[in-house]
Amino acid sequence: MLKLGVNIDHVATIREARYRGRTTGEPDPIAAALICEHAGAHGITAHLREDRRHILDRDIVKLRESIKTRLNLEMANSPEIIQIALRIKPEIVCLVPERRQELTTEGGLDVVGNLASLIDTRKKMNAAGIDVSLFIDPDPRQIEAAAKSGAQFIELHTGAFADKFHDANERDKELQRLISGATQAHGLGLSVNAGHGLNYDNLQMLRQVPHLIELNIGHSIISRAIFIGLANAVREMLQLMENYPASS
């Protein structure tokens, strides 16, 4: 069964637009996470950025205390955030690139160029009982390096596929890259997740990508929730994910 991890960063973004610097505010990302769980989400994803632009330290603590499904902590490979992850102990961390000027994570992690430091972080996380995922583009060199790192998962960056979705030729090229990347990763013993830019329109085509275990989706679900409510938005996405082709 293809699993859904709901990214609640955008709930915190709305809160911080009005209540930045305060100890309380709405909407509450923890309440949103619990609604997502109740609606059937298999996990909750949150990105604790170094600049704390949306999710805050207190959110991660409360999430760890409150949710019953898997907590996926997206994070930069930085000493401060590493120590927080080791203290909070999410079920899994997803290491992502992070730039201050970006609106959201743009592009995949350069595993090839940072292999030694990623191996060091992976060992620390695994020793604490935390699985490690690397957010990478569907590039053969990066996938091979991810396998060398000893990470348990990769998360294929689907942003290029989503951006090119309405250009049939470019979309098909990006889809083929995802298919090839997932096939290569699976053959190297990596478990494969995917995410970034996935929505209610492009999700069906992603069914052609084999070996997927979990999709991490945030913006589209939160956007849809404005019109139909968060629980219904999660359920609609889960319905689109039903009957994903099983693969060995």
What CATH code is carried by the domain that includes residue 98? Answer: 3.20.20.70
C-beta separation of 73 from 48 below 8 A: yes
C-beta separation of 45 from 218 below 8 A: yes
Residue closest to 86 by CA, chosen among 134, 120, 44: 120
Digit-coded pLDDT (tens) for 16-51: 999 999 999 999 999 999 999 999 999 999 999 999
Q: What is the mean pLDDT of each run of 10 residues along the chain (248 residues)?
A: 97 97 95 98 97 96 98 97 98 89 69 98 98 98 98 98 97 98 98 98 96 98 98 98 81
Q: Give domain status of residue 80, yes or no.
A: yes
- In this prediction, residue 107 carries a pLDDT of 76
- In this prediction, residue 247 carries a pLDDT of 62
Q: What angle do CA 219, 221, 227 make, to 5 degrees?
A: 110
Digit-coded pLDDT (tens) for 101-129: 555 556 799 999 999 999 999 999 999 99
Q: Give domain status of residue 222, yes or no.
A: yes
- In this prediction, residue 98 carries a pLDDT of 82
Q: Give domain status of residue 151, yes or no.
A: yes
Range 201-221 burial, b when 16+ CB lie within 10 A, else e = ebbeebeebbbbbbbbbbbbb
Q: What are the catalytic residues?
A: 47, 74, 196
Q: Give domain status of residue 248, yes or no.
A: no
- In this prediction, residue 135 carries a pLDDT of 98
Half-sphere exposure of 55 (CA within 13 A, CB side): 26
Q: Give domain status of residue 86, yes or no.
A: yes
Q: Give domain status of residue 204, yes or no.
A: yes
Compute the Cα dihedral for 141, 143, 146, 148 and give only its sign: negative
Number of structural domains in the chain: 1
Q: Which domain holds residue 102?
A: 3-241
Q: Give domain status of residue 39, yes or no.
A: yes
- In this prediction, residue 181 carries a pLDDT of 98
Q: Give domain status of residue 170, yes or no.
A: yes
